[in-house]
Amino acid sequence: METEAFAPAKINLTLHVTGRRPDGYHLLDSLVVFADLGDRLTFTPGPALSLDVHGEFAKGVPTDCRNLVWKAAEGVGWTGQIDLTKSLPHGAGIGGGSSDAAATLWALAGQGRDVPPDLPLSLGADVPVCLECRAVRMRGIGDKLSAVDLPYLPALLVNPNVPVPTGAVFNTLASRDNPPMPESIPGFESAEDCAQWLCEQRNDLQVPAIGVAREIEQVLDELNMTNRALMARMSGSGSTCFALYPTMKDAHFAAYEIGAAHPDWWCRATQLN
């Protein structure tokens, strides 16, 4: 029986690096939301595992055991044909591979496969939060998750089509022991209220990521100059950046404006929650 799954883009509204364990894993405090756009997967049971990748960003995506989708399927003992349509750019800080893996686990659990409790985190620090697929506060190494009630956030995502390797960003991080977010996240009545609070928070990887890819700074400048932008920040370890707006109309207008000025950039208006 064929099963379909959606793997939404993951956006780090905040990303505070609060420490580092002796084993090298970084400790984080991050407010994570998901977009209404992403990759799509189809699963057709069969005698052997195979993976085909299609779509705008299919080029360069492995179709063997190097792919997290493959590893997720193997982890639950499933075999068959997987078709992955890649709509999210690579090395973009929006959890493309992790979200694909989480969608795989969700879909195959629906086919009756048991997901071992330690499997999601073993696939990657972002896989457990991507399984939640809703607004979440993520702490620890990605293993401590708590749901957060946020309003819908009209947004624009922009990627300059420059992949940024996560390792290179962490290697240039000046401080690995930074303050977390406030213990309690307040309730917000609107996108404007949420954006005002977010302006007081951080993405500790933004400055080192700009050192790796200067294009990120240009994207942030362009987003901040769009009409009615409430705030702009980089997501994850980059290179995708986002801006929040009062309405989706504002976000779509900004997408048209930046898309016209930079037709080589990936630029999508979306709703976050």
pLDDT at 37: 97
Instruction: For residue 59, indicate whether it is catalytic.
Output: no
Rounded Cα distance, 20 and 22, in Å: 7
Query: Which of the residues 100, 126, 204, 250 is marked catalytic?
Result: 126
Identify the structural domains of the chain with CATH numbers, from first to last.
3-146 (3.30.230.10), 151-272 (3.30.70.890)
Query: Which of the residues 10, 29, 71, 204 is marked catalytic?
Result: 10
The pLDDT mean for the chain works out to 97
pLDDT in tens, 217-245: 999 999 999 999 999 999 999 999 999 99
Instruction: For residue 86, indicate whether it is catalytic.
Output: no
Angle between helices 248-261 and 215-225 (to 10 degrees): 130
CA distances 205 to 15, 180, 221, Å, are 7, 14, 17
**DSSP line for 19-52:** EE-TTSPEEEEEEEEEEEEEEEEEEEE-SS-EEE
pLDDT in tens, 40-83: 999 999 999 999 999 999 999 999 999 999 999 999 999 999 99
> Residue 247's CB: how many other CB atoms inside 10 A?
11
Rounded Cα distance, 230 and 192, in Å: 7
CA distances 158 to 29, 69, 113, 149, 248, Å, are 23, 25, 37, 25, 15
Q: What's the DSSP call for residue 143?
A: T
- At residue 90 the predicted structure's pLDDT band, cuts being 50, 70 and 90, is confident
Tallying the residues shown for the chain, one arrives at: 273
Q: State pTM to two decimals.
A: 0.96
What lies within 8 Å, CB to CB, of 92 at 6+ separation is 159, 163, 164, 235, 236, 238, 239, 240, 266
